[in-house]
């Protein structure tokens, strides 16, 4: 059943230009910061573990890594539900750490204070440069509390080849990585200034992340907000992400992902990909991005693939979105090349098909508001546009660009669709509820 853009966005009419009224959503709930943890005392028992009881100082200078490891090991080994408390008003310096499962029962990590990374990248010498807080193999873990995870990324950014081309290109840590976790909940947290990506889910199943605030400067390199790789049944909702790279990126072999009510920008927008790098195979399908505000970003919603890859990106819907001053509001780029050297032309490609863009309105910072640059040998098929209004932020005209793009459109589409129309194309109305909500 078709839903109108105004009924979904709800609620507030705002004026764009002199005459165009565009629907947008009230993002009041998104604009609230995570609440700090409760200060009321709790009865201390073996099921509520405080870092201070294991030697942590919480002064921001003393290395509290060992105390965190010891607390985790006790909590993970306890036969009934256990809570680890990192109290408000304290800053805990934590060096690179691995917290692993399986645990005997459900564990809650309540972060109400601050976990801080070492400032000096040399702390990672001899260690995995991609990891800071690494949580793996845990089932039914909850992380909450209204506190902050601070990656102290400034020194890493200064050493990046993207900031200074004379520097060698090296990996930097993801602030917090969840690997092979199931039935995971992450909520009410702030992540700031990660060394590289802020939060990553890899090989995870059934994840709910909500009420996050992820912040880094717009010039910070590769600081994706949330990165999803080879994971299934992931929902990211009701969060604010303002970084130097993708607000949310979905790669690898990921499926049944729902992104809802995100405030994104600055940064690079919400991206599927990049897929197919180094002739690899990727299968990404059943993805929904619904009801988000994207502003002052390099891209709006994007699918990007490398030449020479294989696999597919299919059954993807972007709907009910408001764009404000976005350089590339709608883009499919099958010639993506993030390399200092030119990428060679190749015939193999990741297949892009059954992609819908529905109820998307706002302003473009460039003339080319819609861009579909698809493979010569494996064209995009089943593209669908409905109720699109993307005006120039400068009052000029906007255009669409198509290369080997096939699909259809319905209703108002401005700038007009430019792709070739497939006779047998059946418009995709959206994903089934069972596919989207079976988390």
DSSP letter at 1 equals -
Q: Which two tokens stand for residue 30?
A: 């998104």
- Two tokens at 44? 């201390």
Quickly count helices (H) and strands (E) in the chain.
4, 30
Q: What is the dihedral of CA 213, 317, 395, 244, to 10 degrees?
A: 30
Q: What angle do CA 330, 332, 337 make, to 5 degrees?
A: 125
Eight-class DSSP state of 123: G
Task: Give the DSSP letter of residue 34.
Answer: P
Q: Is 198 a catalytic residue?
A: no
C-alpha of 399 from chain center = 28
Q: Residue 54 and residue 376: Cα distance in Å, rounded?
A: 61
Does residue 102 have a cis bond before it (omega within 30 degrees)? yes
Tokens of residue 313, six digits:
């990106």
Kindly name the residue from 179, 268, 285, 359 that is annotated as catalytic. Answer: 268
Distance CA 393, CA 372 (A): 21
Report the SS3 class of residue 183. strand
Integer-rounded Cα Rg, in Å, for the chain is: 22
- The Cα–Cα gap between 71 and 46 comes to 11
296: nearest Cα among 252, 266, 270: 266
- Please, what is the Cα angle at 399 between 5 and 263, to 5 degrees? 40
Which tokens belong to 358? 């529905």
Structure tokens at 285: 């399908």
- Is the peptide bond preceding residue 415 cis, with omega within 30 degrees of 0? yes
Catalytic residues, which ones? 268
């Amino acid at each position: 059943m078709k839903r109108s853009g105004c009924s979904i966005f709800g609620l507030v009419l705002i004026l764009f230009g002199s005459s165009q009224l565009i629907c947008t959503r009230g993002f009041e709930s998104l604009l609230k910061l995570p609440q700090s943890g409760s200060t009321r005392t709790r009865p201390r028992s073996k099921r509520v573990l405080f870092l201070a009881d294991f030697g942590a100082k919480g002064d921001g200078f003393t290395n509290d890594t060992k105390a965190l490891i010891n607390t985790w090991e006790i909590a993970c080994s306890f036969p009934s539900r256990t809570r680890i408390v990192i109290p408000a008003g304290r800053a805990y310096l934590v060096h690179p750490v691995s917290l692993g499962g399986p645990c005997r029962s459900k564990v809650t990590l309540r972060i109400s204070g601050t976990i801080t990374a070492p400032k000096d990248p040399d702390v990672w010498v001899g260690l995995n440069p991609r990891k800071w807080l690494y949580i793996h193999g845990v089932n039914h873990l909850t992380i909450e509390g209204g506190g902050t995870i601070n990656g102290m990324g400034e020194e890493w950014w200064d050493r990046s080849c993207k900031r200074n081309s004379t520097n060698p290109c090296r990996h930097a840590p993801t602030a917090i990585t969840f690997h092979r976790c199931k039935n995971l909940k992450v909520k009410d947290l702030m992540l700031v200034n990660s060394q590289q990506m802020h939060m990553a889910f890899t090989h995870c199943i059934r994840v709910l992340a909500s009420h996050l605030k992820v912040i880094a400067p717009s010039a910070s390199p590769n600081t994706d907000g949330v990165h999803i790789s080879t994971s299934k049944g992931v929902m990211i909702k009701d969060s604010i992400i303002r970084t130097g790279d993708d607000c949310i990126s979905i790669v690898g072999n990921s499926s049944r992902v729902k992104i809802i009510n995100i405030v994104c920008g600055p940064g690079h927008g919400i991206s599927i990909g990049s897929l197919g790098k180094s002739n690899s195979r990727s299968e990404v399908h059943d993805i929904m991005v619904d009801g988000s505000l994207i502003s002052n970003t390099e891209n709006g919603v994007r699918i990007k693939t490398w030449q020479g890859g294989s696999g597919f990106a299919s059954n993807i819907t972007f709907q009910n979105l408001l764009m404000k001053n976005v350089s590339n509001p709608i883009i499919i780029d099958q010639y993506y090349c993030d390399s200092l050297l030119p990428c060679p032309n190749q015939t193999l490609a990741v297949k892009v098909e059954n992609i819908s863009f529905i109820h998307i309105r706002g302003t473009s910072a460039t003339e080319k508001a819609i861009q579909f640059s698809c493979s010569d040998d494996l064209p995009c098929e089943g593209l669908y546009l409905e109720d699109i209004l993307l005006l120039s932020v400068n009052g000029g005209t906007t255009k669409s660009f198509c290369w080997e793009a096939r699909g259809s459109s319905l209703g108002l589409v401005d700038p007009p669709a430019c792709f070739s129309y497939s006779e047998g194309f059946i418009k995709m109305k959206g994903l089934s509820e069972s596919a989207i909500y079976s988390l």
